[in-house]
Structure 1
Amino acid sequence: MQPGARHLAQLNIGRLVAATDDPRLAEFMAALDRVNDLGRRMPGFVWMMEGSGTPGTGNSGTEVPGDPRMSVNMTVWESVETLEAFVWNTLHQRFYERRAEWFESSGEMHFVMWWVPEGHVPTLDEGLGRLARLRAHGNSDEAFDWSWLEEARRWRAGNCSRMAAE
């Protein structure tokens, strides 16, 4: 692909410690719309998979088949740098750092990125397929984590623990 002809897609999944209406998730659920709206306003934001559209549910209405406690986030960004700016330089980082309060530890990779042509809107099946490829084969041009990207300067500088990629 020619430079500028591609965008960066990312999928992040996690199993919530309880149902979305459980008091243990109240703070997380209450912040979803704010964090997602912030992401949509960031320079370099292209697209976000939408859940049910119900306020306060974020993308929790988009379920991985067979598990209603799986929370899914999938977005597309103009570049690695624009995704990093959102992840590490906004309110998102504070909630990311507290993820263990709201998500079970899966013990396996739960985050994947891949390049898409400009204008392409990835499907959940596409994202889950990329995640499966990363889990099975490790980093490649088809599916990768932060460590695969030379441009991931904030991640390399220590703004992201290794656990984020695992």
Structure 2
Amino acid sequence: MKLLAQTNLAWMRYPLDDPRMAPMRDEIDRINRLGDASPGCVWRFETPDGDATAVRVLDDPRILFNLTIWRSIDDLRHYVYRTEHADFFRRRREWFIRPPQPPVAMWWVAESERPSVSDAMERLERLWREGPSPEVFSLADAWDADGRPVSWTRRSPRTNG
């Protein structure tokens, strides 16, 4: 069975310790725990000391990095848009600037696989260079684990074909 790997980057408007980031910063651990406990969440990347906010990518200290594995696209969508995470997602412009590139990449992995930061960045950069494909895609242009494009209804994904 294949699982869905998901990585996303968020370009902060202000340094993480800036008081304007407090509403987001003070809730990040709780929202991460909510994700960890959400149906379909298999794994979330953390540094050895448990602080994924310490990861630096693209030589930019303003970028927050996230990497998770889910049982399905629908499980991920539910967490993002149908849990308390959605409240923070709607407020994202308070804390983050519009990214210069699409900030999310997804791909299918073996059940035992746990991608590294480097793996995730390679996939994201491939999406930026080549666009969506069965090997790397976004929620808007998703592919199922068998390599078929997915179209979305309001409530659930539907496989084309």
**TM-score normalized with structure 2 length:** 0.85
What corresponds to 1:139 in structure 2?
A: 132
| Alignment RMSD (CA, Å) | 1.9
What corresponds to 2:114 in structure 1?
A: 121
SS for the counterpart of 1:147 is coil
Q: Please state if 1:95 is matched with 2:111.
A: no
What corresponds to 2:59 in structure 1?
A: 66
In terms of fraction of residues, the more helix-rich structure is: 1
Q: How many residues align?
A: 149
After superposition, what is the alpha-carbon deviation per residue over 1:77-130, rounded to whole angstroms, capped at 9, x for unaligned? 011111111111101111111111111222321111000010100011111111
CA contact (8 A) 1:52 1:61 kept: no
In structure 1, C-alpha distance between the alignment counterparts of 2:21 and 2:79, rounded to whole Å: 22
**TM-score normalized with structure 1 length:** 0.83
What corresponds to 2:158 in structure 1?
A: none
Compared with structure 1, are the counterparts of its residues 60 and 52 closer, same or farther at alpha carbon in structure 2 (3 Å cutoff)? farther
Identity %: 34
In structure 2, C-alpha distance between the alignment counterparts of 1:144 and 1:136, rounded to whole Å: 12
In terms of fraction of residues, the more strand-rich structure is: 2
Letter in 1 for 2:94: E
What corresponds to 1:9 in structure 2?
A: 5
Structure 2 unaligned runs (5+)? 143-148, 156-161
Choose the corresponding residue for 1:47, options 36, 43, 49. Answer: 43
After superposition, what is the alpha-carbon deviation per residue over 1:32-53, rounded to whole angstroms, capped at 9, x for unaligned? 0110000111111100011474
Compared with structure 1, are the counterparts of its residues 124 and 84 closer, same or farther at alpha carbon in structure 2 (3 Å cutoff)? same
The structure 1 segments of at least 4 consecutive aligned residues displaced by more than 2 Å after TM superposition are 51-54, 147-153
What corresponds to 1:36 in structure 2?
A: 32
Compared with structure 1, are the counterparts of its residues 101 and 53 closer, same or farther at alpha carbon in structure 2 (3 Å cutoff)? farther
